[in-house]
Amino acid sequence: MSEVSNRRSVLVATGLAAVSSMSLGGDASGLHDACAAALNAAVDAYETTDLSATAAALVPLERTSRTVPGEHRLRGRATLDWMRLHAAAAAVSYDRGQHADAATRADRAAALARAAGDGPLAARALALRARMVRPHSPAVALQIAGVAARIAGISPTRALIAGKVVTSACAATGDTPGVRDAVARAWQAMERLGDDDFGSPGFALETYSPADLALACAEALTTVGAADEATPHLERAETLIAGSGQTGMVVSVRMAQARAALAREIPDREEAASYAGQAVTLSAARPAQWLARLVRDVSDLADLRTGQGLDDLVDATTPWLHESWEAEPGPQRPAARFGVPGPGGVMVQRAGGPPTVPVPRLVL
């Protein structure tokens, strides 16, 4: 694990989403600022930190924040930050394969955001819901996506819905014209946005990078047998993520390249094995169940199209299907090493001492 990756993992896994010990009876704005900073730090480190560690940081923060708006009567941006937290926690659950938990959190985030008038955030939560429905009913996923698109307005979320949700739902039914139409509409939506709306490649709550859109388009086109049309999108994604340090995003692109290499008219197993091998190597410090499952899918495709799977990579990632960060004994978790000042001079503590997530006061 690189020093940067290790540092981020320590930060998030042991308390970046935990704020310093603060009484909820104190200054509400100070508590909000500390929690919002912790949330932003966890989101920024999402692509380079173990998903279980991120979940271990976000879940207690979500539990605490659930009571804060009611007790302190927070309004405006402060309230919306709690909704962003629900949306982030839902995404973590989804990426870890915990779809029932993700569905509950996504529904809560969508309901809260819609009630507060934040259409793009509500639409993003609905988009996640549509992705969970898609394997069972692409038609229902498209219906949810339609609702989400109507409330997304002119925002990065609208491009995400067309590029990631609609394309994949159409691809699931073999609707090649539908995929191509969604790809075109997604890029049209992207062209209306400014650079600030793009953000960094990878996970985000309010932005959507052209790299993410290019990857989503490539995956859908590959699924419907248009691997040659997917190639320019993959090349664009690779160019945009070069040097980004966003491990999760790089891994996703490598796996998409592996799948495309096998889906072309003349499949290339060696090329696919090379890309998939790079993805597994990059993920050694960030093992994830979703990647282990994807490796199996690509291996099955390789076996189908070339007569030889990627057995060595399947064997290497099998343990990732069963790992649980929370279940590891204490010494296995990152040790406390440092603390950094939070908003208003508050020190964000690391593990090794008393819990630093503020505990809600009991309402007597």
Domain ranges (residues) in the chain: 1-93+339-355
Closest CA to 150 of 166, 174, 139: 166
Dihedral angle computed from the Cα positions of residues 231, 92, 145 and 78, in that order, rounded to the nearest 10 degrees: -120
Sign of the CA dihedral with 346 first, then 348, 352, and 358 last: positive
Q: What confidence score (pLDDT) does residue 49 get?
A: 86
**What's the pLDDT tens digit per position in 171-198?**
999 999 999 999 999 999 999 998 889 9
Closest CA to 164 of 108, 111, 203: 203
- Give the contacts of 293 (CB within 8 A, at least 6 positions apart): 97, 321
Please report which confidence band the pLDDT of residue 76 belongs to, taking 50, 70 and 90 as the band edges. low
- Phi first, then psi, for residue 351 (nearest 5°) are -65, 165
Tokens of 42: 């966890």
- Alpha carbons 339 and 350: distance in angstroms, whole number: 6
Closest CA to 102 of 128, 141, 67: 128
Q: Which residue has the higher pLDDT, 178 or 31?
A: 178
Percent of the chain with pLDDT over 90: 46
- Alpha carbons 62 and 17: distance in angstroms, whole number: 9
- Are residues 183 and 167 in contact, defined by beta-carbon separation less than 8 angstroms? yes
Q: Which residue has the higher pLDDT, 83 or 325?
A: 83
Q: What confidence score (pLDDT) does residue 348 get?
A: 32
Please report which confidence band the pLDDT of residue 52 belongs to, taking 50, 70 and 90 as the band edges. confident
Tokens of 198: 């793009």
The total number of residues written for the chain in this structure: 364
Q: What confidence score (pLDDT) does residue 186 get?
A: 95
Please report which confidence band the pLDDT of residue 50 belongs to, taking 50, 70 and 90 as the band edges. confident
Q: Which residue has the higher pLDDT, 278 or 38?
A: 278
Closest CA to 326 of 104, 58, 102: 58
- Give the contacts of 340 (CB within 8 A, at least 6 positions apart): 347, 348
Query: Scanning the structure block, which residue is given the tokens 């979320």?
Result: 157
Q: Name 347's bridge partners.
A: 341
Over range 158-174, report the average pLDDT: 94
Calculate the alpha carbon distances from 48 to 3, 92, 321, 364 in Å.
11, 13, 19, 42
Please report which confidence band the pLDDT of residue 23 belongs to, taking 50, 70 and 90 as the band edges. very low
Q: Rg for the chain (alpha carbons), in Å?
A: 21
- Are residues 138 and 173 in contact, defined by beta-carbon separation less than 8 angstroms? yes
What is the DSSP code (8-state) at residue 327? G
137-141, 200-204, 212-216, 327-331: lowest mean pLDDT where? 327-331
pTM of the complete model:
0.78
Closest CA to 160 of 108, 196, 134, 198: 198
**What's the pLDDT tens digit per position in 99-152?**
888 888 888 888 878 877 888 989 999 999 999 999 899 999 999 999 999 999
4-8, 26-30, 206-210, 224-228: lowest mean pLDDT where? 4-8
Phi-psi region of 260 (alpha: psi -120 to 50; beta: other; left: phi over 0): alpha
Please report which confidence band the pLDDT of residue 253 belongs to, taking 50, 70 and 90 as the band edges. very high
196-210, 252-266, 302-316: lowest mean pLDDT where? 196-210
Tokens of 187: 């890029």
Helix (H) or strand (E) holding 251: helix 247-263
- Is it the case that residue 95 has pLDDT exceeding 90? no
- Are residues 165 and 131 in contact, defined by beta-carbon separation less than 8 angstroms? yes
Over range 330-345, report the average pLDDT: 32
